[in-house]
Structure 1
Amino acid sequence: MTNAPSAGKPIDRLSVAELNREEFNRKYRVPGKPLVITDFLAETVDWDLDFLCKHLDGRKFQVRDYGSGHFDAPRREWTKYCDHIQMTMGDFAAHLRDGSAKSRNLYLAQNPIGDSEAVKTIADEMRFLTETLGFEPIIPEASLNLWLGASGHVEPMHFDPGDGTLIMMHGEKRVVLYPPKQSKHLYPFGFYDVLPFWVSQVNSLAPDLDAYPDFSKAAADRFEVVLSPGQLLFIPTQWWHEVIAQGEGYVCSCNHFWKVKPWRRRFQTIRGFVIQAMNLFPWRWVLRFNRFIYQFKKS
């Protein structure tokens, strides 16, 4: 049985003028509560394809290749998250313009662009995050990440180990969120499954309640927002979120991951504890061990 979920609760919205570090820390960072900054970017900022090709062409980007029909299968049946291919911004823009990015489900995801000319156009806004609100990068050289894809694309529900900021550069995204306390009702993959344990098996937009009956228990804590160009969403660590590209054409956004403050928010869930433990070991060995256990379970 597949049920359409009810609309989620709204997320607090504030303008830049209404924010200062003390207020942000007290109401949002310390308790780990999402927030929309409604006018983070100037109205003149628009990272359309012409802008991106001008400032980023010639660079190689990693593009996720999900393949047509990938999202038709239940996530518990996936044998991998996606494939990856390399292409220039000009090549990917061509796929967006001719519709093949949508039909093939290609998505340019989480590509660092902190050293690009494009980021210089929003330097003042990024300083507001660090100097006024007190955000600190997880590592000093960490940078802004670019996300670009066709309307209709869905990034499956997952959580991130750091606090995140999502900025809309062109088009709109709908974001569905659930707090960390609902983790057990969101059916995350197991620690030794083929997909990461920070990804949910549930399609929150059309949940299969026969397969995931306890998902309905999370309904009271469902939050939802549509982000418009120039708006920023603060997503605290371990908040589950599913992101849907809306409208026609294509959508562009940027995100940044930040240190979690206060530090105790890193340990809100068992999965949070595990991620902190994994940080003590080289990631490649953790992933190899996970793959070994998964193959052992299948045999």
Structure 2
Amino acid sequence: MTLNEFLDRHIVPSDKGVGADISQPQKPKKLGYLAQHRLFDQVRLIGIELGLVARVEDAEDGGDEDITINSWFGPGGTVSPLHFDPKDNVLCQVVGAKYLRLYAPEESNKLYPIEGLLSNTSQVQVEDPDDEQFPEFRHAKYVECVLREGEMLYIPPKYWHYVRSLSTSFSVSFWWA
């Protein structure tokens, strides 16, 4: 399948009017979502052309940090469920907009983490919580924002975050420890 065929089949049709209103989350019927993908490792030339590879290598040469670059690409309505990452994170919005909700680590007991291997992920569907199953969730304090094209957001380690694309979106995240 060519990139154009992928876009026509999975991105363009599902992006018409989906998720543009932050108060009305919807899911497209067919969903194409490239999530947490190391695109710039796979297609190094893109990272070189954008100057990302050289800057990351320079930063790594100056210290002990191991920097991971991930990319995120999909139509409006795509979601990253409520979770936290163990590393510092700068999320850069390249195209489109995303709605984010952030919860401090102190709220963890109200966020119902999955037990076991996925303990960094919540069981709660953030925008449609089951109040009977997760009664404390509604008491969890959070901040919310819309990250727009050209903006960046720093997310500290262990801060819970939920992300929903409001439109066709391309983001790049930089993780380091």
Question: TM-score normalised by the shorter chain: which range applies?
Answer: 0.7 to 0.9
Whether the 8 Å CA contact 1:114–1:143 is kept in 2: the answer is: no
Q: Rate the CA distance shift 1:124–1:153 in 2: closer, same or farther, 3 A.
A: closer
Map of 1:207 onto structure 2: 129
Instruction: Report how many residues are paired.
Output: 160
Q: Give the equivalent residue in structure 2 for 1:159.
A: 84
In the alignment, the residues of structure 2 paired with residue 136 and residue 183 of structure 1 have an alpha-carbon distance, to the nearest angstrom, of 30
- Of 169, 184, 189, which aligns to 2:114? 189
Q: TM-score w.r.t. structure 2 length?
A: 0.77
- The SS at the match of 1:224 is strand
C-alpha distance in structure 1 between counterparts of 2:84 and 2:124, whole Å = 13
More strand by share: 2
**Greater helix share, structure number:** 1
| Cα distance in structure 1, aligned partners of 2:80 and 2:68 | 21
CA RMSD of aligned residues (A): 2.8
Q: Render the CA deviation track for 1:140-171: whole Å, top value 9, x for unaligned.
A: xx542111111011211011111111111100
- What are structure 1's unaligned runs of at least 5 residues? 1-86, 260-299
**Counterpart in the other structure of 1:123:** 51
Matched AA of 1:202: V
Larger radius of gyration, structure 1 or 2?
A: 1
Structure 2: segments with no counterpart, 5+ residues: 16-26
2:160 is aligned to: 240
Which stretches of structure 1, 4 residues or more, deviate above 6 A after TM superposition? none
Could you tell me how far apart the structure 2 residues matched to 1:143 and 1:218 are?
Answer: 30
The answer (yes or no) to whether the contact 1:188–1:198 under 8 Å persists in 2 is yes
Amino acid at match of 1:187: Y
Partner of 2:30: 104
Confirm or deny: 8 A CA contact 1:135 1:258 kept in the other structure.
no
For CA contacts below 8 A with separation 6 or more, give which structure has more relative contact order. Answer: 2
Structure-1 separation of matches of 2:12 and 2:3: 12
Contact residue 14 and residue 76 of structure 2 kept, 8 A: no
The match for 1:284 is: none
- Please tell me the residue identity of whatever aligns with 2:46: A
